[in-house]
Amino acid sequence: MKTSQAYAFLSLALLGEACLLPGEASGGHIARRQDITGSNTGIAIGTGDRFEGGKKFPRGLGSQPDGTNLETLLNVNEIKSAVHGLVEEYGIDSIEYFESPYKTYQNASLFGAKVGGSGNCSDAYRVYFNAAIHARERGASDNIVYFISDLLYANKHGEGLAFGGRTYSNCDVRRALSTGIVFTPLSNPDGVAYDQATHSCWRKNRNPAASGGDPDAVGIDLNRNFDFLFDFLEDFAPSVGPNVASENPRAQTYHGASAFSEPETKSIKWVMDEHKEVRWFMDIHSYIGVVLYNWGSDENQLRKPYMSFLNESYDAVRGLMPDTPSDNGIYGEYIPSSDWSEKVFAAMRMGNAMDAAVGRHYEVQQSAYLYPTSGASDDYAYSRHFADPSLGKIHGFTVEFGFGNNEASCPFYPTPDQYHQNLLETSAGFMEYLLAASEIGVGEAASCFRHDSIPAAVSALISLDARTGLFTVDAGEDAEATITLPSLATYATVVFLHCTGDFLDTAQPGALRGYVQSGGGFVGVHAAASGLREDDWYGELVGAHFDQHPPPEEGVCIVEDPEHFITRRDGAHGKNSVEDADQIRKRWTDECYNFLSHPRDNKNLHILARGGPSAFEGGTMGDDHPLAWCQEFDGGRSFYMGRVTRLNNIGGNNENTDR
């Protein structure tokens, strides 16, 4: 016997009809409840476009005063308009819109966006949220759109967020965004449009291919159309298979002609394929108040790797819960122990946060205890790396938000009060999910980020070369070819210009160290302090490791040592006076780095410039905020400047050509 059987019985009894109405799960052959009247007793659907095609941007409840009323549900057009509004407000550096290459039956595109992470290439994004795969589950799209809106607003303004009884700091916001988020807020656009127009409690998409002209047989259950145990009648025990999906087009769980037969599910797969480093997946559903984690095919087991969905010899017993040892019906879906514990940890964090938001209790459990399923998105996401080891592991989760509308209309249509409660609960849950993912791990840091200021900084160095004739600049981005002892030995100084992440391989830090110890010079500019975070020697070479920074803001720079050869030049910029610094103020807006350790505590550093008193609204280092310094270090010499926009101030009439 497997563990948790008593829990399994309890969960099946309490939660067996999530996502499905009474009668829709039994045998899968009931098309729809017959008491759906076509009326809407839930929150009203918005009319027009409150975001004016992207000219206005959304804000969620977390960044607005307690009790804010959003009044109406987002209509289909507003969901896309909201995403465009976020792009217009926060810019492509903060959020990037995309569309999949597949068109739905009604010629709609599945669209989405990506935010945060360590850059603007696909490898920077590690968490994927999908919403509205079941058309009638109203508020799913709103939940993710307004949550992303809150993250971007709080990040831009240096604020925290409050979701009812759950609050988060701005540091939490930055950590959440650092995971890199991809989201598709409307993965069933045809179905949602139809449901909003008819109030018919419509679940499936609108593909009529198998309907034979029967309006009740239109559509495929998209969450049975993924390539995971798709041939359910063969893959599950005979007593289980007919309940996990259906081959009857009239059924709410009709799985379609083949796995990924639908453009909607192809699009979700495309998002995973395009963003190869995604490691966490969340599918957003309603309504039963539960957070679910893999697997959904049978109870988990961690001792027998050969006992898995890939092994056809277990097809006759898969899905039996509880097992029947007397009939040789023992089966459990294999999951590595570490994966299981990580899923439970993240799901519990999410469930507890949702509980705290408005006081309603969310269950947390393995998906199979709800009811066994085939072809579901979360199991497909997790199964990919088992079926093809070249693909990355994606932890799969589903949240069933809300607790249903007890009015006579479709119970998936939340009342206005329920709608706002759902927004608070899911936002708190999503935030905790991202923070848990950040703690557990989202994979190796992406190496794709390229700082926007690199071209301007390279131009400034070349300009200094031309103006002074003191040196020659070779600029390149091939670290593998450049950071070797023979190559570095040909240069007096190496400049790391906005190098972030782990940009050197295992041998290259040793080459850099050997170069410096042989008397080589090092210049680090701005984001160079955020590179090689685990390398203590590199942190000492730079002088301090980057912690975080507020949004770009206007600043005051005070030169502490105007006689040093780095800062000495003709004109007023070398004068150490607040008055002259004020003259610079109008020309200087920049990211003011906060460091993990205070540079002033490093007695080897010679501070050249600092920020003026109370100059940095988002500063964490007090009024004494060093911006640039130099040092003799480990046989060589090092100079670091934290400012981007005044690089061409360096080296005016410098006569010390040896340095």
Q: Decide if 396 contacts 281 (C-beta within 8 A).
A: yes
In CATH, 454-649 is 2.60.40.420: no
Cα–Cα distance measured from residue 258 to residue 155, given in angstroms and rounded to the nearest whole number = 43
Q: What is the pLDDT of residue 581?
A: 40
- pLDDT at 298 exceeding the cut of 60: yes
Buried b (16+ CB within 10 A) or exposed e, 351-389: bbbbbbbbebebbbbbbbbbbbbbbbbbbbbbbbeeeee
Residue 646 CA from chain centroid, whole number: 33
CA atoms within 13 A on the CB side of 138: 33
H helices of 506-587, in order, are 508-517, 536-542, 578-585
Eight-class DSSP state of 334 = E
Closest CA to 112 of 272, 316, 227: 272
Instruction: Identify whether the C-beta of residue 353 lies closer than 8 Å to the C-beta of residue 282.
Output: no
Mean pLDDT taken over the chain: 85
> pLDDT band at residue 25, thresholds of 50, 70 and 90?
low
Q: How far, in Å, CA of 350 to CA of 362, rounded?
A: 9
* pLDDT classification of 471: cutoffs 50, 70, 90: confident
SS3 for 159? coil
Residue pair 86/151 in contact by the 8 Å Cβ criterion: no
Cα–Cα separations (whole angstroms), residue 372 to 8, 11, 261, 354, 645:
11, 12, 22, 25, 58
342 counts as catalytic: no
Same fold, 5-440 and 454-649: no
The pLDDT of residue 546: 82
The Cα angle at residue 140 between residues 139 and 145, in degrees rounded to 5: 95
Q: What's the DSSP call for residue 329?
A: B
Q: Binning pLDDT at 50, 70 and 90, where does residue 500 land?
A: confident
Residue 618, Cβ density class (10 Å: 0-12 exposed, 13-18 middle, ≥19 buried): middle
pLDDT for residue 9: 31
H-helix segments, 504-571: 508-517, 536-542
Q: What is the pLDDT of residues 35-80, one digit of tens each?
A: 455 677 899 999 999 999 999 999 999 999 999 999 999 999 999 9
Q: Is the pLDDT confidence value at 318 over 50? A: yes
At 498 the three-state DSSP class reads: coil
In the predicted model, what is the mean pLDDT of residues 588-609? 84
Residues near 303 by beta carbon (within 8 Å), at least 6 away in sequence: none
Identity of the amino acid at 479: A
Query: Which segments of 170-295 does DSSP mark as H helices, in order?
Result: 170-178, 189-198, 232-235, 241-244, 263-274
pLDDT of residue 289: 97
Task: Name the one residue in this structure whose structure tokens are 């796995």.
Answer: 259
| Whether residue 4 has pLDDT greater than 70 | no
Which of 89, 333, 342, 400 is labelled catalytic?
400
Burial class (CB in 10 A: 0-12, 13-18, 19+), 498: buried
pLDDT score of 10: 32
Whether the predicted pLDDT of 344 surpasses 60: yes
Q: Domains of the chain: which residue ranges?
A: 5-440, 454-649
Confidence of residue 437 (pLDDT cuts 50, 70, 90): very high
**How many Cα atoms occupy the beta-carbon half-sphere of 346 within 13 Å?**
31
Cβ–Cβ < 8 Å for 609, 628: yes
Give 393-404 pLDDT, tens digit per residue: 999 999 999 999
d(CA 170, CA 177): 11
Residue type, 69: N
* Domain 5-440, CATH: 3.40.630.10
